[in-house]
Amino acid sequence: MFQFITNLKVYDNIMKDPARFISNLSNVKSDKFQISFAVPAINLEKLAGLFPGKIKAQHVDLNPLGPYTGSIPMESLIAYGINGSLLNHSEKRIQSEIIKDTIKKAETLKFDLIVCCENIKEIKLYSSIGARTIAYEPPELIGGNISVSSAKPEIIREGVKICEKEGSSLLVGAGVKTREDVELSIRLGAQGILIASGITKASDPRSALNSLTLS
C-alpha cells in the first residue's frame, strides 16, 4: 500500500486544536493509501492515544532516555505506540553523522524512519546506508503551488531507481495540491506522498484529503 502522510507542521490553525483537525479527517478511507499524520511534538502522546496507528512524529532524536533536555527519544515514541517519524525535514535539518546513527538505531528498534532528502546526492547517501524510507522534497517547492511531480519528474525517476536498488521506498512531497500531482507521482514510481499545505490550508481539508487519496 502507498503512504499518504500529512505533515501538520505547527501551523497556527492546527495548533488551536490538532485533535479536532485530525478527527475531521480520521475516517477518510482509501483503498490505495495508508493515511497518517506527522504531528507537533507537544501533541504526540495525546494524539497517539486518540488516533492509534495514524500518528507519526515530525522529528526524532538520537539520544536514548536520560538527561537530554528537549529531546524526543525514539524509545518514548515507541512506548506511546508511534511507529514512525520524519527525520531531517528541510525545516529541521540535522547533521549527517546523526542521521546515519539514527538510521542504525531505527533498524535495531524496528522503527519506521522517513529520512527527508533535498537532492539525489542525499537520496544516494542515505539509501546506501540503510534508510528504508526516503522522502524527496525539493525545499524551494515546499509550501508553493508547483508540485514536485511536475517540476522534478526526472529526479523522482532517478530517485526511485536508486531506492529500488538499495531495497528502499521513495516518498515525494512539496507543492502537492491536486489529484493529478498525486497520480503523476505514483506513475513516476513513488511509493507515497508527503503533503502539508494542500491539506492544512485547504478550505475543506476533508474533501481535499478525499480527493487526493483517490477515494
Q: Interface with ligand G3P by CB under 6 A: which residues? A: 7, 89, 137, 142-143, 173-176, 194-198
Give the nearest residue (CB) to ligand G3P.
197
**Least distance CB 139 / ligand G3P (angstroms):** 8
Q: Is the dihedral of CA 187, 193, 196, 201 positive or negative?
A: positive
**Least distance CB 165 / ligand G3P (angstroms):** 25
Say whether 89 is catalytic.
yes
Task: Specify the residue, 4 or 165, whose C-beta has the smaller distance to ligand G3P.
Answer: 4
Supply the DSSP symbol for 41. Answer: G
Task: Specify the residue, 5 or 103, whose C-beta has the smaller distance to ligand G3P.
Answer: 5
Convert 44-102 into a string of H (helix), E (strand) and C (coil): HHHHHHHCCCCEEECCCECCCCCCCCCCCEHHHHHHCCCCEEEECCCCCCCCHHHHHHH
Catalytically annotated residue among 118, 122, 137, 166: 137
Task: Specify the residue, 7 or 102, whose C-beta has the smaller distance to ligand G3P.
Answer: 7
Residue 130, C-alpha cell as written in the block: 540503510
Closest CA to 8 of 198, 204, 212: 198
**Least distance CB 116 / ligand G3P (angstroms):** 7
Q: What residues act catalytically? A: 89, 137
